[in-house]
Chains A and B, each alone.
Chain A
Amino acid sequence: MKVSTSWPVLVAEDSPPDFLLLEEAWKRAGNGHALVCEPDGIALLQRLRLPGMRAALVLMDVNMPRKNGLETLAEMKADPRLVSTPVVIFSTSRDDDDLRRAYQLGASSYVVKPVGLPELVHAVTLIRGYWLGLIEVPK
Chain B
Amino acid sequence: MNHDKPLATVRDRVEVLVLEDNPGDAQLLHAELGAEALIDVHLTVAFRLSEGLHLLATRQFDAVLLDLNLPDSRGLETLDRLRAAVPEVPLIVHTGIQDDDIALRALRAGAHDYVVKGPGIGPLLVRSVHSAIERHRLRAELELRAAQLEKNRAALRRVIEASADVIMILDRTGAVRFVNSGAESMYGRSAADLVGQAAGFVIQPGAVDIDIPLPDGTVRAAEVRAIEIEWDDEPSSLILLHDVTERKRAQERIEAQNVLLEERVRERTAELVAANSELEAFAYSVSHDLRAPLRHIKGFTQMLEEEAVERHDASAQTLISRILRSEDRMRELIDDLLGFSRLGRCEVCRELVDPGPLVVEAIEELAPEARGRPVEWSVAALPWLDADPALLRVVLVNLLSNALKFTRGRDPARIEVFPAPGSHPAPVIAVRDNGAGFAAEDAKRIFDVFQRLHTQAEFEGTGVGLATVKRIVTRHGGRIWAEAEPGVGATFFFSLGPAEA
Contact = CB atoms under 8 A, between A and B. Distances in A.
Contacts of A24: 299, 303
A92 B334 CA distance: 13
Contacts of B292: 15, 18, 92
Interface stretch (A1-9, A47-55, A112-120): A112-120
B291 interface: yes
A126 interface: no
Contact of A115 (B288, B298, B300): B298
Contacts of A15: 292, 296
A21 interface: yes
B288 A92 contact: yes
A80 interface: no
A21 B296 contact: yes
A116 B302 contact: yes
Main secondary structure of the interface of A (DSSP, over half): helix
A43 to B, nearest CB: 20
B302 A115 contact: no
Nearest to B295: A115
A117 B320 CA distance: 14
Interface in B316-348: 331
Given A15-B292, A92-B292, A115-B295, A21 B331 contact: no
B288 A117 contact: no
A17 interface: yes
A117 B296 CA distance: 9
A117 B291 contact: no
Nearest to A117: B302
A18 B303 contact: no
A120 B298 CA distance: 11
A21 B300 contact: yes
A21 to B, nearest CB: 4
Nearest to B331: A115
Interface string A107-129: 00000010111101000000000
Interface in B432-467: none
A33 B251 CA distance: 83
Given A21-B296, A92-B291, A92-B292, A117 B331 contact: no
Interface in A93-139: 113, 115-118, 120
Contacts of B300: 17, 20-21
A20 B292 CA distance: 13
Contacts of A115: 294-295, 298, 331
A18 B302 contact: no
Contact of A21 (B288, B291, B294, B299): B299
A31 to B, nearest CB: 20
A92 B331 CA distance: 13
A41 B300 CA distance: 26
A120 B296 CA distance: 11
A24 B306 CA distance: 13
B291 A120 contact: no
Interface of A: 15, 17-18, 20-21, 24, 92, 113, 115-118, 120
16 contacts: A15-B296, A17-B293, A17-B299, A21-B296, A21-B299, A21-B300, A92-B288, A92-B295, A113-B295, A115-B294, A115-B295, A116-B298, A117-B299, A117-B302, A117-B303, A120-B299
Nearest first, the 8 A-B pairs at minimum CB distance are A17-B296, A21-B299, A117-B302, A117-B299, A115-B295, A116-B298, A115-B298, A92-B291
Given A115-B331, A116-B302, 14 more contacts: A15-B292, A17-B299, A17-B300, A18-B296, A20-B300, A24-B299, A24-B303, A92-B288, A115-B295, A115-B298, A116-B299, A117-B298, A117-B303, A118-B302
